[in-house]
Amino acid sequence: MSRDPWRILEEEILNCTKCKLHMYRRRAVPGEGNRNSVLVFIGEAPGEKEDEQGRPFVGPAGKLLTELIESTGYRREDFYITNIVKCRPPGNRDPEDDEINACLPYLIKQLELVKPRIIVCLGRHSARTIFKLAGLKWTNMSTQHGKVYSIRLFNFNVKIIPTYHPAAALYNPQLKSSLEEDFKKSIKPVLSEVLEARSVKKTLLDFSCEKKSSLLK
């Protein structure tokens, strides 16, 4: 029997030494949540609390992210949450390009497994990395946050929405209102649209199955 691809991937991340961040971490943080989610949140890197607990977004920025998610009427467990790099940079410095590049195959594998319809990039490092991966032009957060970029990525259609990092919004009320607005005016409506389309498709499928089975009777 073949082994669970998620287990293999997580074990690989937990034991990874592909970049220098492995020297400083307590625990690598692969990601968590609904592996069949239509939406994936991608942050930057684990912070202190995440490094301690081995879970993403469990510190103060995580508390804000959870509140923002709940403001859309969903719970954080409904979605998959991960980061660009899986190990904490010392002193919470920005992740460097060689670290991002070394870690990227793990994120790509996660996206291939989840096949989300929506990717929300939290913060500029997440956005610039995902935009590059998608072949999109990244300029800056102030002009691009809250916009919806529909593209094809690894054989599936996906909508990419960049927004501010919750940690940046914690002490900046203006960024916090932009972040709240992006959740309200972009993320929530796009999510409803995708889920609606999915339920229509399911109803049509159920209908054609019913029709087939009644024809068989």
Least distance in angstroms from the C-beta of 194 to ligand URA: 24
Tell me how far the alpha carbon of residue 104 is from its chain's centroid: 13
- Among residues 108 and 204, whose Cβ is nearest to ligand SF4? 108
**Can residue 40 be called a binding residue for ligand SF4 (CB under 6 A)?**
no
How many Å apart are CA 84 and CA 135, to the nearest integer?
17
The residue within the footprint of ligand SF4, chosen from 39, 64, 87, 114 (CB under 6 A), is 87
In 118-195, where do the E strands start and end? 118-122, 149-153, 156-163
Cα distance between residue 57 and residue 192, in whole Å: 24
Q: Which of 40, 102, 122, 127 binds ligand SF4 (CB under 6 A)?
A: 102
Amino acid at 47: G
- The answer to whether 188 and 146 are in contact (CB under 8 A) is no
Is residue 83 a contact point for ligand URA (CB under 6 A)? yes
Q: Is 32 in the site for ligand URA (CB under 6 A)?
A: no
The correct pick among 42, 61, 85, 118 for binding ligand SF4 (CB under 6 A) is 85
Query: Could you tell me the two tokens for 45?
Result: 């890197």
Binding of ligand SF4 by 99 (CB under 6 A): yes
The pairing of strands 118-122 and 39-43 is parallel
Asked if 119 is part of the footprint of ligand SF4 (rule: CB under 6 A), the reply reads no
Which residue among 10, 28, 37, 44 contacts ligand URA (CB under 6 A)? 44
Radius of gyration of the chain (CA): 18
Residue type, 153: L
Q: Which residue is nearest to ligand URA (CB)?
A: 43
- Interface residue list for ligand SF4 (CB under 6 A): 13, 16-19, 21-22, 28, 85-87, 99, 102-103
